[in-house]
Amino acid sequence: MANYRIPVTKPLLPLKSEFEKYLDKIYESGYIANNGPLHNELRERLKEYLGVRNLTLMVNGHSALDIALKALNIKGEVITTPFTFVSTTHALTLNGIKPVFCDIKSTDFTIDEDKIEELITPNTTAIMPVHVYGYRCNVEKIEEIAKRHNLKVIYDAAHAFGVKYKGKALADFGDVSMISFHATKVFNTIEGGALVYQDEKLTRVFDAYKNFGIEGPEITEYVGGNAKMNEFQAAMGLANLSIIKKAIEERKWLTDLYRQRLSGVEGIGFFEPEKVYDDYEYNYSYFPILVDEKYGKTRDELYDYLLENGIYARKYFYPIVTELGCYKKEFEGVALSVAKEVSKKVLCLPLFNGMAMDELNEVCDLLENFKNE
């Protein structure tokens, strides 16, 4: 996105000197992979920061999802959402699991918990909801459904780093949650991810699956792959963890400015989870807006107009998964009216640490000017 004056996002970067301190430790220890000292330090510090008991680091979020499915022996059918990044569905498909798509709610874009049960069949083994933009799914209702039907719950919590609900990490709900530490996320380890889970016995299984199934010099009980986080990723994570609190505070400040500027623009809607959910701490990971007919222009027209002016916003998520070329034929005709409608209206505006007030005001000015053209 370097060609755009204002990109949709930029990675959180610590001071170079802070990162170099950890690089020095890598050179001193000689470890660059295979659960080195920085990897282990990051794991423990993340457990403390998030307030979770069990956490396993991975090379990226997609591999983490893949391993969660394998380790929990998920088969058959899994109920999930079409309003997500394609990795969620790919993880299921590549494991020979049939994704069964449930529509979403127009309020917060998460899976419609009231439509889950009608999709359950004798082949259903799990539910895989997504905390979209860090907005929480109805975790209580989903847990209740899962218990009643003896199903596992695996959350795609890629966007939910640091989000808390009722004093508990949002990633600590369900059997397992995946968090992404990709460069575009609130907290990054360049690439990376983690699994958070309830049953500490899964630690051994996750560790084996991410290391070719190997548990010892002559012990290989699982058919695993290579999903280990290396020391350079861990170094970036440790350096970023020291500034994450201020980074989220800055994102909140920018989000509040957006809300103030756009609150009077007819046809532009946005969600404020702190006002809707009880006892909720948000991470301000994205700033999605919905562009409806009252704006007088379509979402796509607004997207093109911003692009012409050097600003890259993102149609996130569009198209929905079932309309992508690799899935379209198989799922043609599946009733997902809300997800389809939302995908045609949603636009994530630029939001990143280091964004200047002038940049944010320019985005808002363009939205206002284009409406009035």
- Residue 94 in any domain: the answer is yes
Give the residue from 125, 69, 133 showing the smallest Cα distance to 105. 133
* 224 and 159 belong to one structural domain: yes
* 130 and 225 belong to one structural domain: yes
Q: Among 219, 241, 263, where does a domain finish?
A: 241
Q: What is the mean pLDDT of residues 287-314?
A: 98
Q: What is the mean pLDDT of residues 302-326?
A: 98
Q: How confident is the model at residue 3 (pLDDT cuts 50, 70, 90)?
A: confident
pLDDT at 168: 97
Give the ranges where the chain is alpha helix by DSSP (H).
16-29, 37-50, 61-71, 86-93, 139-149, 202-209, 231-241, 244-262, 273-276, 299-308, 328-331, 337-345, 357-372
Give the residue from 35, 86, 65 showing the smallest Cα distance to 211. 35
Segments forming the whole domain that contains residue 56: 16-241
Q: Which residues pair with 196 in a beta bridge?
A: 55, 177
pLDDT at 118: 98
What gap in Å lies between CA 354 and CA 342, rounded to an integer? 29
pLDDT at 373: 87
Give every CB contact of residue 251 below 8 A, 6+ residues apart in sequence.
Answer: 186, 283, 284, 285, 351, 353
What gap in Å lies between CA 189 and CA 352, rounded to an integer? 16
Q: Which residues pair with 75 in a beta bridge?
A: none
Q: Which two tokens stand for residue 13?
A: 């970067």
* 56 and 155 belong to one structural domain: yes
Mean per-residue pLDDT of the chain: 97
Using CA atoms, how far residue 39 sits from 14, 89, 229, in Å, is: 18, 28, 7
**Model pLDDT for residues 204-245, shown as the tens digit of each residue:** 999 999 999 999 999 999 999 999 999 999 999 999 999 999
Strands 176-180 and 193-197, bridge-based pairing: antiparallel
Q: What is the mean pLDDT of residues 106-129?
A: 98
- Asked if the peptide bond before residue 11 counts as cis, ω within 30 degrees of 0, the response is no
What gap in Å lies between CA 337 and CA 314, rounded to an integer? 21
* 212 and 269 belong to one structural domain: no
pLDDT at 224: 96
What gap in Å lies between CA 343 and CA 94, rounded to an integer? 25
| pLDDT exceeds 80 at position 1 | no
pLDDT at 236: 98
What gap in Å lies between CA 23 and CA 2, rounded to an integer? 27
* 71 and 204 belong to one structural domain: yes
* 83 and 186 belong to one structural domain: yes
Q: What is the mean pLDDT of residues 119-144?
A: 98
Give every CB contact of residue 39 below 8 A, 6+ residues apart in sequence.
Answer: 57, 228, 229, 230, 231, 234
Provide, rounded to the nearest whole percent, the portion of the chain with pLDDT above 90: 98
Q: CB atoms < 10 A from the CB of 219, how many?
A: 9
**Model pLDDT for residues 25-67, shown as the tens digit of each residue:** 999 999 999 999 999 999 999 999 999 999 999 999 999 999 9
**Model pLDDT for residues 65-84, shown as the tens digit of each residue:** 999 999 999 999 999 999 99
Q: What is the mean pLDDT of residues 159-181?
A: 98
Residue 335 belongs to domain with CATH number: 3.90.1150.10
* 311 and 208 belong to one structural domain: no
The domain total for the chain is 2
* 213 and 316 belong to one structural domain: no
What gap in Å lies between CA 179 and CA 54, rounded to an integer? 13
Q: Among 210, 241, 272, where does a domain finish?
A: 241
| pLDDT exceeds 60 at position 2 | no
What gap in Å lies between CA 66 and CA 85, rounded to an integer? 14
Q: How confident is the model at residue 326 (pLDDT cuts 50, 70, 90)?
A: very high
Residue 148 belongs to domain with CATH number: 3.40.640.10
pLDDT at 83: 98
* 266 and 147 belong to one structural domain: no
| pLDDT exceeds 70 at position 309 | yes
* 46 and 149 belong to one structural domain: yes
Q: Could you give the maximum distance between any two Cα atoms of the chain, in Å?
A: 71
Give the residue from 61, 357, 96, 309 showing the smallest Cα distance to 182. 61
